Structure 1
Amino acid sequence: MQGIIVFLLVFFVVVTVHELGHFIVAKKSGILCQEFAIGFGPKIFHKKIGETNFTVRLLPIGGYVKMPDNVFDFNNEVSPYDIKKGMQVFLKLDSEDKVEKIILDKSNDVDLFPIEVNEYDLTDNLFIEGFVNSGQDLEKFSVRKDACVVFSGMEEQIAPIERMFSSHSWQKKFLTLFAGPLMNFILAAIIFVGISISNGVPINKAIIGKVVENTPAYSAGFQADDVIKEINGVPINTWLEIGENIVKYEGKEITTLVDRKGTEKIIKVTPKTEIVKDKNGNETKKYSIGIEVKYDHNILNSIKDGLSKTLYYGTLIFTGIVRLFVSVFSGGFNLDQLGGPVAIYEMTTEAAKNGFITTLRWVGLLSVNLGLMNLIPIPVLDGGRIIFVLYEAAFGKPISKKAQYYATAIFSVLLIILMLAVTWNDISRLFN
């Protein structure tokens, strides 16, 4: 149960931050945001605040900000609300007899005005025309720019053409799309900087930060702030060299030369040997004496270290994504290279077992990963839509609506198939 709760919290944070980036920049740009959704599928919670419905949906596999776009009405047959000629709807009129709400669900509210739809336009001319008085009269009503359509128990504000995503400049569209991944990178940087400030930055000098009780080093007489100068006559300059030389002697007694506040001491110690098994049952010997690295708590160094880690992990993940695409074309691709919601749940549970800091670090890694994955240049992701916008910037006009529609539809289907395959592979691997 704890694993499920942590997984949902991690998912909620990473996805919410991503979508918040899109949402903030879209609102600043004048783009209408009809819905801010966490998850996909049936909604389990919704609340309308201002123009936007904030919803939580059943399937924790992503999220979205619904920004109306006329790309998908290139054949003039697509209605975002499935309003059709001959359909009965109910109108709520304001004091000036302008349409304030269009209710698609059946209603017994006496204040509502029933009409049988003949024609309507909720984007350019903002009107709805229909038969009233049992079909005897044809009447046309003006629709307010902030009117709402009510369906499935939810109110959604209509999208006049000037509020649509596609009606804005390429610069605003680019910033809106890039803001999601950018917020993920910012979240990761904040997390890694925060961890570095909290823990300090490891000093790669051969200085002991702490001696763990009931260990060989504790029994041998090592103390915090001892500087290890030599191991078995080999000069030691860095913390990494301590570990390398301990491992080299495979658990045998070693002789160290230690500088303690200007006085040199010789201390002998026999490392503890442990047998460690990996998930496949392979055994590895681990040698330790029970000392921990010293940390620097300078805040500027901590900030630098946190930003450096963000860049390091970002580079690592980006390289992995590139190798993944190369493997697709070289024939070396395997589904085990990918992880879906099940794999993320499994790894989140493992991170939670190792404490808050480890879980926080995992959130940072997931955030970087989500930001970079969304920048992959395929139409259904932010990266693909950014390519469309850059085309518009380069050639002074957008790619045709039909091309955008079919490219997005095809890659949506392919992505769903891939996600199902990856999820099935994760489940099979988990049970095996």
Structure 2
Amino acid sequence: MTENPGFLLTVLAFVLVIGPLVFVHELGHYIAGRIFGVKAETFSIGFGGTIAGWHDKRGTHWKLGWLPLGGYVRFAGDMGAASQPTAEWLALPPEERAKTFQAKPLWQRSIIVAAGAIVNFLFAILILGSFAYLEGVPRTPPVIAMVAEGSAADRAGMKEGDRILSISGRSIGDFEDIYRIVRFSPIEPMQIAIDRGGNRLSVDVTPGVLVERDRFGNEYRMGQLGIGKPPAVYDDIGLLEAPLVGAERTWGIVRLMVDTLGQVVTGRRSVKELGGPLKIAQVSGEAAMMGWESLIGFIALVSINLGFINLLPVPMLDGGHLFFYAIEAIRRKPVPVEAQEWAYRGGFALLVSLMLLVTFNDLTSFGLWQKLGGLIG
């Protein structure tokens, strides 16, 4: 029998996941702007009508919107999709204009734009580093303890005692590295370098597919080599080493995201596997049911996702702004406003289309269309 976190817990957990991450992301923009002397006119968590709001002594309007699916910081002078100066900006007194976003040099504007994603990554590093400090770090050697008969590893000629050195060019430090790479690559050909009695060998392997079903009824297609691992070994780490481990784990997750995105773009992975806000809400509730540690770990994962997605070079996202700034740095002058406006329209259309796609996928995973079909039939 499957478990269900219920509607109220799902909504509460979703707010607990998204709310702090939006705040952290926008706080990164805000702090960077403050450092460079840019006035923040509005700091909003959520969209829509204002539930609560106040003005601080610097004139910033802090507000909480009723739709907690995003947020924004509006800096003085940041006008229009292309963030180009307007007649109103040019008419400002010099001392006021100096506090605007557009008055700052290109490198400062770039840091302000990138700061949101950077803080998301730092937040994840803090969480994952804390877990490593409290629980220890797995250091199980990447040595094959067993090869299942007829498995992908067996067909490739891998043997008990082989030490895995790398997978598709990625260095393997411990057995967990093997698991992290293979599980997200079902039926994905890969080349594995092994050490067998001091001799370096290379084998081509295509992992099999293991379909697992969790306590909530969700099914997952995972890659499987069919090898066993030796007894687990955990090492305690110091406080100074924890951030390094957190950064290493964060980078590993980013690489997996890049691989997954590449698989979707090239058609090796179905777009049906892409999820949106509804799926995040569902998993948030399930993670909350599994305990605080699971929920906090999920927050770290979503924080990395938020930072990664925002850095994609898509107009309307932070990465789109940075892309135009890079062109501006090369050309020594801004991209024409008309070109930026058209690009942002295209970026907006792309994001809306993607949102519709992932929402459709979410509803499909919930079985909505099957239920509707049953009612109609």
Q: TM-score if structure 2 supplies the norm length?
A: 0.67
**Counterparts in 2 of 1:191 and 1:390: CA distance versus 1, 3 Å:** same
Q: Does 1:61 align with 2:69?
A: yes
**Paired position in structure 2 for 1:198:** 134
Please give the root-mean-square deviation of Cα atoms over the aligned residues, in Å: 3.7
**Paired position in structure 2 for 1:11:** 18
Q: How does 1:239-318 map to 2 (within 5 A)?
A: 277=213, 279=217, 293-299=232-238, 302-318=242-258
Amino acid at match of 2:72: Y
Query: What SS is found at the alignment partner of 2:73?
Result: strand
**Paired position in structure 2 for 1:162:** 98
Q: Does 1:31 align with 2:34?
A: no
Match for 1:393 among 329, 340, 347? 329
Which is greater in Rg? 1
Counterpart-to-counterpart distance in 2, 1:177 and 1:74: 12
Query: What SS is found at the alignment partner of 2:366?
Result: helix
Q: Which moved more, 1:409-418 or 1:297-306?
A: 297-306
Does the aligned pair in 1 maintain the 2:84–2:102 contact within 8 Å? no
**Paired position in structure 1 for 2:205:** none
Normalized per residue, the structure richer in strand is 1
Does the aligned pair in 2 maintain the 1:71–1:166 contact within 8 Å? no
Amino acid at match of 2:358: V
**Paired position in structure 1 for 2:60:** 52
**Counterparts in 2 of 1:240 and 1:124: CA distance versus 1, 3 Å:** closer
**Paired position in structure 2 for 1:407:** 343
Give a deviation string over 1:101-153, Cα, whole Å, max 9, x none. Answer: xxxxxxxxxxxxxxxxxxxx753335xxxxxxxxxxxxxxxxx899xxxxxxx
Does the aligned pair in 1 maintain the 2:81–2:316 contact within 8 Å? no
Q: Structure 2: where are the runs of 5+ without partners?
A: 1-7, 143-159, 165-173, 177-211, 221-229, 369-377
Cα distance, 1:292 vs. partner? 8.5
Match for 1:123 among 74, 89, 95? 89
**Paired position in structure 2 for 1:22:** 29
Counterpart-to-counterpart distance in 1, 2:82 and 2:16: 37
Q: How does 1:343-358 map to 2 (within 5 A)?
A: 343-358=279-294
Give a deviation string over 1:383-422, Cα, whole Å, max 9, x none. Answer: 0100111111111111122222232133223312331332
**Counterparts in 2 of 1:235 and 1:416: CA distance versus 1, 3 Å:** closer
Does the aligned pair in 2 maintain the 1:74–1:401 contact within 8 Å? no
**Counterparts in 2 of 1:349 and 1:75: CA distance versus 1, 3 Å:** closer
**Counterparts in 2 of 1:201 and 1:419: CA distance versus 1, 3 Å:** same
Aligned length: 290
**Paired position in structure 1 for 2:259:** 319
Q: Structure 1: where are the runs of 5+ without partners?
A: 79-120, 127-143, 147-159, 207-233, 242-275, 283-290
Q: Which has the higher contact order (CA 8 A, sep 6+)?
A: 2
Query: What SS is found at the alignment partner of 1:178?
Result: helix
Q: How does 1:149-188 map to 2 (within 5 A)?
A: 160-188=96-124
Counterpart-to-counterpart distance in 1, 2:98 and 2:366: 50
Does the aligned pair in 2 maintain the 1:71–1:401 contact within 8 Å? no
Does the aligned pair in 2 maintain the 1:38–1:57 contact within 8 Å? yes
